């Protein structure tokens, strides 16, 4: 079982790290949380029921560890979600545009409440069902559904505002260039 559990955990590491980032908002804290969760899962591998999904079990462990950590420390500075920008490393124009968009989404995610960030990551990114997310977060399924709906609306509103501001900036820059060109021509 330990070798099988190690292989299982190794395959889940990217997803665990992503969930850790959603919970903590900090790359360093996320790495620590993932390490602690993996250690606990390996020590308690016998507690995983065969019918349970291993990813949901590990998410549950991570959530409980994070709740314990938050309770034990009251004030601590965290890195923003921007610290996760180095998670993706591709070349090319499309990848650069994708990274800009991803950075914007991360910034907006960082402005969401921890509850909204967690449920959005579990359901939309990691593909857990509402029921599984409810079990991981230890809340009723209706709470997952309402948090997810509010999180999606808030994220969409933030991204739409960002795009509108970017469009306004482009228009303003174009108007300034036109004025400068006219002044040079006079």
Concatenate the DSSP letters of all residues of 74-111 into one string: S------GGGGGGG----SHHHHHHHHHHHHHHHHHHH
Mean pLDDT value across residues 12-41 = 91
Cβ atoms of 161 and 114 within 8 Å: the answer is: no
DSSP per position, 38-53: HHHHHHTGGG--TTS-
pLDDT tens by residue, 90-108: 456 777 777 777 788 888 8
Provide the percentage of residues in the chain whose pLDDT is more than 70: 75
Q: In Å, what is the CA distance from 166 to each residue of 38, 82, 160, 171?
A: 41, 19, 10, 9
Q: From CA 146, how far away is CA 176, in angstroms rounded? A: 45
Mean pLDDT of 160-174: 60
Specify the pLDDT at position 84: 59
pLDDT of residue 62: 93
pLDDT in tens, 138-152: 999 999 999 999 999
Give the Cα-Cα-Cα angle 42, 43, 49 (nearest 5 degrees): 70
Amino acid 133: pLDDT: 92
| CA nearest neighbour of 66 among 28, 34, 42, 41 | 34
pTM comes to 0.54
Residue 170's pLDDT is what? 46
Residue 124 confidence (pLDDT): 87
The pair phi, psi for residue 180, each rounded to 5°, is -65, -40
Q: Average pLDDT, stretch 70-87?
A: 63
The Cα–Cα gap between 115 and 133 comes to: 11
Structurally, at CATH architecture level, domain 2-185 sits in: Up-down Bundle (1.20)
Cα–Cα distances (Å) from 53 to 14, 38, 145, in that order, read: 16, 15, 21
Instruction: Give me the pLDDT at residue 37, please.
Output: 92
Q: Where are the domains of the chain?
A: 2-185
pLDDT of residue 106: 83
Question: What's the pLDDT band for 116 if we cut at 50, 70, 90?
Answer: very high
């Amino acid at each position: 079982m330990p070798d099988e559990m190690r292989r299982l955990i190794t395959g889940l590491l990217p997803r665990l790290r992503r969930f850790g980032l959603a919970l903590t908002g900090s790359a360093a804290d996320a790495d620590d949380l993932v390490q602690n969760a993996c250690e606990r899962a390996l020590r308690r591998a016998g507690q995983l029921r065969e019918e349970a999904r291993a990813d949901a079990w590990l998410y549950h462990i991570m959530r409980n560890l994070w709740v314990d950590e938050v309770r034990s420390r009251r004030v601590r500075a965290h890195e923003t979600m921007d610290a996760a920008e180095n998670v993706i490393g591709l070349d090319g124009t499309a990848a650069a545009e994708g990274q800009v968009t991803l950075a914007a989404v991360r910034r907006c995610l960082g402005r969401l409440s921890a509850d909204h960030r967690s449920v959005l990551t579990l359901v939309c990114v990691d593909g857990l069902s509402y029921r599984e997310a409810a079990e991981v977060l230890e809340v009723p399924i209706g709470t997952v559904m309402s948090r997810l709906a509010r999180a999606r609306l808030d994220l969409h509103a933030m991204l739409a505002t960002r795009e509108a501001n970017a469009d306004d900036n482009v228009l303003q820059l174009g108007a300034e260039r036109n004025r400068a060109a006219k002044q040079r021509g006079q």
